[in-house]
Amino acid sequence: MTKNRSIYILGIESSCDDTSAAVICNGKVLSNVVANQEIHAKYGGVVPELASRAHQQNIVPVIQQALEQANIGKKDLKAIAFTRGPGLMGSLLVGTSFSKSLSQALNIPLIAVNHMQGHVLAHFIEDENQQKPPFPFLCLTISGGHTQIVKISSYASMEILGETIDDAVGEAFDKSAKILGLPYPGGPFIDKYAKLGNPTAFKFTKPKVDGLNFSFSGLKTGILYFVQKKVAENPDFIKENLHDICASIQATIIDILTDKMEAAVKQTGIKHFAIAGGVSANSGIREALKSFETKYGWTTYIPKFEYTTDNAAMIAIAGYFKFLEADFSTKNVIATARLKVHEN
């Protein structure tokens, strides 16, 4: 394929605390650079003001690096796709205003992408080792900000079947980790220690929520009270039982998620199930999902690790499908902190 027939799309992601730029060509990733913001760790959570400042510092070098790694120049780009929302307003504004200026300077189309659609569409990145889900399929999108089961009927048509009514599952992981004195973000630490522990050592109450919706705030409170009570009895309780506590928390969270996934398949009759978002990196969730292939005859789709947490390749692929439909934005497009997965 000659360079001329190649559709190079630059993706820019800045919705939360990762600044990312990626170049894809006809659906294949040529580069996917992510600058993580370490600064938030010492505050135990993302500080919005610091996040937007760090995006401003990172955005130019990250884009430069993405172009260099892809071995192309700015003039080769056919369009710029950027995250319009949902996310932190200050963070979104950095990516939005930069993308607008660059598209105007290069005189190429600007494509606004819904971050939640990006997570789902990461499954369509060209990769010989990854199978793409057929339409319609279900996707459990689980991240620090979201927990939802989505029915995907086409690249552009998505419907929320159920979602959290309070905390996101990533928050449940991170807040539980904080109670245990683990660093932020704690999800990967719980995953790591859970592998060494007994998942049935401790019992936590699962919430009762209607339909395909989720709730995690009660679980977090239950874990807090449980730990406080045990530590009052034995100050070394956490240290002596860390692996078992983590394994039990993770098993409860996985149970909550998989109960609703099973219900979603029953309700829709769709047996193609994908997972997306930062928490889909969790080894327990991946194992549980795989086991449903043999147990229930589902076909499951698990993204590559680098496309689970926030990244610009998923924004670029979502932008590529919009490019093929000539679904471009005007220069008046604005960043939007709240945006549902079906909204464009």
Binding site for ligand KG4 (CB under 6 A): 16, 143-145, 170, 173-174, 185, 187-188, 191, 277-279, 281-282, 309-310
Contacted by 149, from ligand KG4, Zn ion, none: CB < 5 to 8 Å by type = none
Contacted by 281, from Zn ion, ligand KG4, none: CB < 5 to 8 Å by type = ligand KG4
Closer residue to ligand KG4, CB minimum distance, 173 or 323: 173
44 Rama sector, left if φ>0, alpha if ψ -120 to 50, beta otherwise: left
d(C-alpha 160, C-alpha 117), whole Å: 11
> Which residues touch 92 (CB under 8 Å, ≥6 apart)?
14, 15, 83, 84, 85, 335, 336, 337
Contacted by 170, from Zn ion, ligand KG4, none: CB < 5 to 8 Å by type = ligand KG4
Closer residue to ligand KG4, CB minimum distance, 101 or 291: 291
Report, in Å, the least distance between residue 120 CB and ligand KG4.
12
Strand partners, 164: 214
User: Which residues from 28-57 bind Zn ion, rule CB under 5 A?
Assistant: none
Of 143, 87, 96, which is closest to residue 119 (Cα–Cα)? 143
3-state helix, strand, coil in the chain (%, to 5): 50, 20, 35
Report, in Å, the least distance between residue 309 CB and ligand KG4.
3
Cis check: omega of the bond before 48, within 30 degrees of 0: no
> Which residues touch 125 (CB under 8 Å, ≥6 apart)?
24, 27, 28, 29, 307, 313, 314, 317
Closer residue to ligand KG4, CB minimum distance, 67 or 279: 279
Reduce the DSSP state of residue 110 to 3 states and report it: strand
Closer residue to ligand KG4, CB minimum distance, 38 or 325: 38
Closer residue to ligand KG4, CB minimum distance, 59 or 72: 59
Closer residue to ligand KG4, CB minimum distance, 162 or 185: 185
What mask, x for binding Zn ion by CB under 5 A, covers residues 140 to 169?
Answer: ---x--------------------------
Output the CA–CA distances (angstroms, integers) from residue 257 to 142, 274, 277, 287, in the order listed.
9, 13, 14, 13
Of 154, 116, 117, which is closest to residue 137 (Cα–Cα)? 154
How does 250-271 read in b/e, with b if 16+ C-beta sit within 10 Å? bbbbbebbbebbeebbeeeebe
User: Which residues from 90-149 bind Zn ion, rule CB under 5 A?
Assistant: 143
User: Which residues from 302-321 bind Zn ion, rule CB under 5 A?
Assistant: 310
Contacted by 155, from Zn ion, ligand KG4, none: CB < 5 to 8 Å by type = none
Contacted by 309, from Zn ion, ligand KG4, none: CB < 5 to 8 Å by type = ligand KG4
Closer residue to Zn ion, CB minimum distance, 16 or 108: 16
Reduce the DSSP state of residue 138 to 3 states and report it: strand
Closer residue to ligand KG4, CB minimum distance, 8 or 189: 189
Compute how many other C-beta atoms are within 10 angstroms of the C-beta atom of residue 101. 13
Q: Residue type at 66?
A: A
Report, in Å, the least distance between residue 145 CB and ligand KG4.
4
Report, in Å, the least distance between residue 197 CB and ligand KG4.
14
Report, in Å, the least distance between residue 20 CB and Zn ion.
11
Q: Residue type at 180?
A: L
Report, in Å, the least distance between residue 160 CB and Zn ion.
15
- Residues lying near Zn ion in the complex (CB under 5 A) are found at 143, 310
